[in-house]
Structure 1
């Protein structure tokens, strides 16, 4: 009798959870809003460029800081790769502690310096500090260093959910800001911060924030334009395959929908069908294309991208960053090698990767990844 009662209780609990889950899914919007992003006036563009003017040096010093335990792949690597190839500033990647910076969802790099080494070499601080999303947005060491840099006059730029790190420093209090669509509600829990919709980049009195992961591409080009002018930014934009980089954005196009939730659930439950996809880590590899490709494949919930090389030594990327291989191997099985895209300009590499994800796992997974990257398709 007791076993029967327990069994019926178990069935009842499962049925209740299924009903709750079904109701939750039913109440989610069926698809994101459609339509074009509102245009940005030339006055607003000029005001953004003026607000980002280098505060100290003619050739600015830019520091990209991450915690070693996990900082977001594209947030960390894309600003570095674009700004370094533009050669309009001195760009350094930093870790809060000695040793490599493990990126998520993929890759591992050896930063140029620790924050302590940077402070010793540059006691007057950076011109710009770029803050990626981090696995912990309350890391005391990172927060204090960012506040110290702001106190020395640096413009602080929170990329994607790096905005939440900046928010926790208090630097966004009383300012306008944006962040990745998934974290907007978290940002709005800070009552002193005024959320701005429909902008990929928001600048307010020495602090800038961006929307989701791929927004670091237009953000970096905006910095290039600010520092070196429109012609230089156009040249770099052509090099990376991006036609426009202003702040236009349609926030309603990126939200938690029923197809997004169902894809996440289905791909997570398909645990027996996981793939490890190997990307050859070659000398002079384009760190921006690599970051976008590895990030995208690792967000399918069906695969994880890793790098491999014949030896354990770090490989130096196109712009001089040392990237550590995840595996030591001379080659990788062809079936577990994503279509080659690392030699394409970054924007084209991402488009090609999303097409390959569509072909391999279907359009819903490709849309699911693009939504996470906050990348308009």
Structure 2
């Protein structure tokens, strides 16, 4: 049963694909409006964020978890227009940003109500849509799994990606020194403007040596790694004793060669995670922690997501092509609603 203030259409505009492939397989479609469960809200989507997992799913390399919408899109912002029977009715009509299990590239999206955060203060819907996926990912992996704390040092690869810019902002907000790697001088400069203390052009410098030089050989306490593969042993050389290595993607390869006695002698911790398959209860608890500790930074205007480009929903293929070309600095979003 859906509680709503206004009648809802039977169908909606969405982006889909008949077969996995390149960005050109994404096409506008008319599909049924999603059904929502007792703990869900229905959001009239104003903007949807574009993320690397969307590209992987489109290419056939990242299937949605059981029960998730086959429509792409892991984060949205918009107005709550329907609530399930177990959801407080006062949420109807409010503006929220939501981490979704899928379905964001559409006029309407269903999401668990406890995965929503209020869009208020100085935060607008476009910027809010650029936050949930990267914010949930960075908070969990840098601060929970990586145990980063004030006075420490963090190394982030992909410093101008959505994840990278979010990691810089959050780390600096909590008095953590940030070192990033980027693919060219323009991106290094952009990362420094966001707040990075050191930005290394990895095509021109050995980032291991650059980290050692910058830290006088002390190294960093946490590495947030999206590359994996042969980066892992190099990352470990950057870690201080008792350092933590957190992997969130394997864009450079799924296997790494490690020397285990080094890990033992230096007491290093290797961990990692994927967010999408985690339980609704885990994501709700994570949302609660973010609401208390990080979300106020954005609603108060102390932090703001770095925005790259906004594309109309029907041009989702162009948005994917831009992301895969690696040209973007910050977040790419799709404009869905009016």
Compute the TM-score of the two structures, normalised by the length of structure 2.
Answer: 0.35
The answer to which structure has the higher strand fraction is 2
Compute the TM-score of the two structures, normalised by the length of structure 1.
Answer: 0.32
